[in-house]
Amino acid sequence: MSARPLALTLGDPAGVGPEIIVKAWRALSQDGPPFLVVGDAQALTSAPAAAGVPIRTVGRAEQALSLFRQALPVLDLPLTTDVVAGQPSGAHAPQIIRWIETAVGLALVGAVGGVVTAPIAKAPLYEAGFKFPGHTEFLAELTAPANQPGARGPIMMLTARDLRVALVTIHEPLARVPGLITIERVVNAGLVTAQALRRDFGIARPRLAVAGLNPHAGESGGLGREEIETIEPAVRALRDLGVDAQGPYPADSLFHQDARARYDAVLCQYHDQALIPVKMLDFWGGVNVTLGLPVVRTSPDHGTGFDIAGRGHARPDSLIAAIRLADSIAAHRLAA
Ligand SMILES: NC(=O)c1ccc[n+]([C@@H]2O[C@H](COP(=O)([O-])OP(=O)(O)OC[C@H]3O[C@@H](n4cnc5c(N)ncnc54)[C@H](O)[C@@H]3O)[C@@H](O)[C@H]2O)c1
Ligand SMILES: N[C@H](C(=O)O)[C@H](O)COP(=O)(O)O
């Protein structure tokens, strides 16, 4: 366990975030990684599972270490408008963004060991003028001035059980994806992923399988030429750089149980190619990790769950897995 707490952002206060945070504290308060919440204390107090959970405000992140076993620590940056569970509102956007900025700022100065983000809904943030597709790209912007050892992300990785997937393109409309797959992007995603598998996951000789874009990985050019013109040269370039990369392989046969034993991560070309197998394999245990940034960041694989917010049956499993993984990555970085 790291000697510093983690910072956990509240996410969209109208979603399941407050409820699963309170439940995660219940599950982890005795022997789990300590964390403080960066968000609105009242939203936590009002969460369906909050009865009996002591919630205490703190002024400094380090106070969370001694407090965490007795109470849920919160750096209270209150909302200015009322929250209705299940109803997202652009009015919350400035504070949602501020919580993320604050948590990342704490990580950049070393006051916390990493950041775990509860889910945000993108649409109300876009309506309020948020210019980033999601946390991943926003965190890259916030951490841009800080030094990053090795290749720079952000690269989105999702993990579930024995599967890790890393993405060449992230939040992009499908129609734009082929044009965005360049040799440079594939090589950078492969390098960031291989370096993170060593540095953050402790895998000494990581093996990467690279997925094709087209059906049957292009069928020798008959079903698309991206494999021949872009992905194969990128795989060769990765090998020249010392990365154990193989492929491109047809994506449909890359994710079954026997195939998963042959690699440590799959480099996928686009969002759903990567996230469908993860969420199908283990929706409750899946974790989203941002690779190649100066700060540690994880998140649950699920979203804001507006359809069930406020009802009391949201599951905290994925958030708990995200907290444990952030703690493990922070410990690996500290030991390096
Ligand atoms: N980490 C993140 O910030 C993150 C991740 C994924 C999606 N999102 C955002 O979330 C919003 C909603 O996305 P969506 O509807 O596609 O996916 P979702 O994950 O919010 O919901 C999909 C289904 O899973 C259920 N679900 C989600 N979390 C649950 C939990 N903890 N316990 C029990 N059931 C749960 C929901 O009720 C719903 O039926 C979108 O705006 C998206 O951008 C954010
Ligand atoms: N792409 C993620 C998913 O579908 O699970 C999710 O939108 C989170 O993205 P950020 O971590 O960049 O917010």
For ligand 2, the distance from its centroid to the CA atom of residue 63, given in whole angstroms, is 30
Contacts of 129 (CB under 8 A, 6+ apart): 93
> pLDDT tens, 123-165?
999 998 999 999 999 999 999 999 999 999 999 999 999 999 9
How far is the CA of 21 from the CAs of 71, 131, 157, in angstroms?
A: 13, 27, 22
Judge if pTM exceeds 0.90: yes
pLDDT at residue 48, as a whole number: 92
Top mutation candidate among 304, 315, 317 for ligand 1, by most atoms within 8 Å of CB: 304
> pLDDT tens, 242-290?
999 999 999 999 999 999 999 999 999 999 999 999 999 999 999 999 9
Q: Which of 279, 273, 330, 269 is nearest to 300 (CA)?
A: 279
Radius of gyration of the chain (CA): 20
pLDDT at residue 2, as a whole number: 60
pLDDT at residue 322, as a whole number: 98
- Residue type at 46? S
Contacts of 82 (CB under 8 A, 6+ apart): none
Residue bearing tokens 């998963």: 260
For ligand 1, the distance from its centroid to the CA atom of residue 81, given in whole angstroms, is 23
Residue bearing tokens 């370039």: 237
For ligand 2, the distance from its centroid to the CA atom of residue 134, given in whole angstroms, is 6
Residue bearing tokens 């991206």: 226
Residue bearing tokens 């799959």: 266
For ligand 1, the distance from its centroid to the CA atom of residue 119, given in whole angstroms, is 7
Residue bearing tokens 């699963």: 20
Ligand number, closest to the Cα atom of 300: 1
Domains and CATH numbers, the chain: 1-148+294-336 (3.40.718.10), 150-292 (3.40.718.10)
**With contact defined as beta carbons under 8 Å apart, do 194 and 252 qualify?**
no
- Residue type at 193? T
Phi-psi region of 118 (alpha: psi -120 to 50; beta: other; left: phi over 0): beta
Ligand 2, residue 288: give the atom nearest the CA. Answer: 11
Q: Which residues of the chain have pLDDT under 50?
A: none
Structure tokens at 89: 């509102």
Strand order of the β-sheet with 163-167 is 55-57, 72-76, 35-39, 6-9, 115-117, 297-300, 287-291, 155-160, 163-167, 265-268, 207-211, 244-249
Ligand 2, residue 136: give the atom nearest the CA. Answer: 12
Which ipTM score applies to this complex? Answer: 0.96
Q: Which residues line ligand 2 (CB under 6 A)?
A: 134-136, 275, 288, 299, 301
For ligand 1, the distance from its centroid to the CA atom of residue 72, given in whole angstroms, is 24
Ligand 1, residue 307: give the atom nearest the CA. Answer: 37
Work out the angle at residue 329's Cα, subtended by the Cα atoms of residues 116 and 162, and round it to the nearest 5 degrees: 95
